[in-house]
Amino acid sequence: MGNRRIAGHLAAVFTILIWGTTFISTKVLLNDFMSVEILFFRFVMGFVALFLVCPHRLKTADHRQEITFVLAGLCGVCLYYLLENIALTYTMASNVGVIISVAPFFTAVLSHLFMKSEGRLRINFFIGFVVAMAGVSLISFNGRGLELNPIGDILAVLAAFVWACYSILIRKISNFGYPVILTTRRTFFYGILFMVLALFFFDFKIGAERF
């Protein structure tokens, strides 16, 4: 149990390091690509990579499980990254990085409301959250003043809330007992389907046509 907890913490730290680079890389890519284009190509490549790693088919037990995958794809793949990428077009990457950090707070609140296995939210949680947010803000702004951009900042808050919803759905999916790669690929699949629908609302171009 102790080794699994350590492995989980190490995996979380690694995820944070990778996640942190996405704000900067996305900001750079936005100079040449639309937010929906970045989102679409990013997850298509991810889906293909996961398929190559594990080409097996995932068979769910019932339609309720399938609906959970659909909602996870909508929240965690489509809405979250779309909101985040659009937010980066209106506000600074440092703002988005700090605001997205409130996602664990939303996750804890939603877990307390909708998951019976979760305990009460104690005062230590709120104190720790405030201290963590202060640390994130000091690192992100690095002495610069806070520049509010209402549209971008609000979109970033919505992205954090959507990510919290995705986290709860993933917790439910993990209880299904399926391999992680297959569940991630299924989530990506539905997320890409929703993104294809979103492309109709944007001036999406592919190949040489966009240059």
10-23, pLDDT tens digit by residue?
887 888 788 777 77
Contacts of 164 by beta carbon, 8 Å cutoff, 6+ apart:
103, 104, 106, 107, 109, 110
pLDDT tens profile 59-80: 888 899 999 999 999 998 888 8
Q: Distance between CA 116 and CA 52 in Å, rounded?
A: 37
- What are the mean pLDDT values of the chain's consecutive 10-residue runs (211 residues total)? 76 80 78 79 90 90 92 91 83 77 80 69 74 64 60 85 91 91 94 84 56 45
Task: Assess contact for 123 and 64: CB atoms under 8 A.
Answer: no
Would you state the pLDDT for residue 68?
Answer: 95
Nearest to 22 by CA among 163, 120, 181: 163
